[in-house]
Amino acid sequence: MLTEIQQDAQERMKKTINSLENNFGKIRAGRAHPSLLEQVQVEYYGSMVPLSQVGNIVAEDSRTLKVSVWEKDMSAAVEKAIMTSDLGLNPQSMGQVIRIPLPQLTEERRLGLVKVVRDEAEQAKVAIRNIRRDANSDFKELLKDKEISEDEARKAEENVQKLTDASVKSVDEKLANKENSLLEI
């Protein structure tokens, strides 16, 4: 029972860290990468779909993304969706091909991205602490029901605390790496 709770907490913490890495990947450091457009939604016959479902996204070079739209009449909708997204990109349409040059990051924009990255990391830390709290409350419940002893509960809480410390340390390392990549010119 205790090991199941600890394993569940460990898995949830790993998922939190993976989610953080995924979110960090969407924050660009000046290089073109197709994942920058992952969250862009396009209106397609009355419903909103991800951009990747209406066209092919590739990095043409380190500063340019290229979207090849599968249906010619979708070009305008794709261009509009990219412009209205909060990415600050200005697409250039050439028929079924849309090129998106990525502007050079200014110092002000870099510092703004660092703030966003720090917020993401803080949210991950809060999620990890919530997972620890959930596991500890499960241990207290088992102790209250007399299914485990106080020593077992204390030992289990120490193990979950070690998992929490390791996860928070991992988040801090990933944050430092992302900040460095954002601030380097």
Nearest by Cα to 158 from 177, 174, 139: 139
Superfamily holding 2-26+106-183: Ribosome-recycling factor (1.10.132.20)
Q: What is the pLDDT of residues 88-117, one digit of tens each?
A: 778 888 888 888 888 777 788 788 888 889
The reported pLDDT for the residue numbered 28 is: 67
Residue 182: its H or E element: helix 150-183
The residues near 167 (Cβ < 8 Å, ≥ 6 apart) are 13, 14, 16, 17, 128
The reported pLDDT for the residue numbered 30 is: 63
Q: In the predicted model, what is the mean pLDDT of residues 150-155?
A: 92
Q: In the predicted model, what is the mean pLDDT of residues 14-36?
A: 81
Q: What is the pLDDT of residues 30-42, one digit of tens each?
A: 677 777 777 788 8
Which residues face 66 on adjacent strands? Answer: 58, 99
Where do the H-state alpha helices sit in 27-144?
A: 75-84, 107-144
pLDDT, mean over the chain: 87
Q: Which residue has the higher pLDDT, 67 or 184?
A: 67
Which DSSP category does 66 fall into? E
Residue showing tokens 């485990």: 148
Domain 34-101 matching CATH 1.20.120.350: the answer reads no
156: its two tokens: 């289990």
Q: What is the pLDDT of residues 47-64, one digit of tens each?
A: 888 888 888 888 888 788
**CA–CA distance, 84 with 41 (Å, rounded to integer):** 10
The SS3 call for residue 1 is coil
The reported pLDDT for the residue numbered 29 is: 63
Q: Which residue has the higher pLDDT, 159 or 88?
A: 159
The reported pLDDT for the residue numbered 23 is: 83
Domain boundaries, the chain: 2-26+106-183, 34-101
The answer to whether the CB of 167 falls within 8 A of the CB of 128 is yes
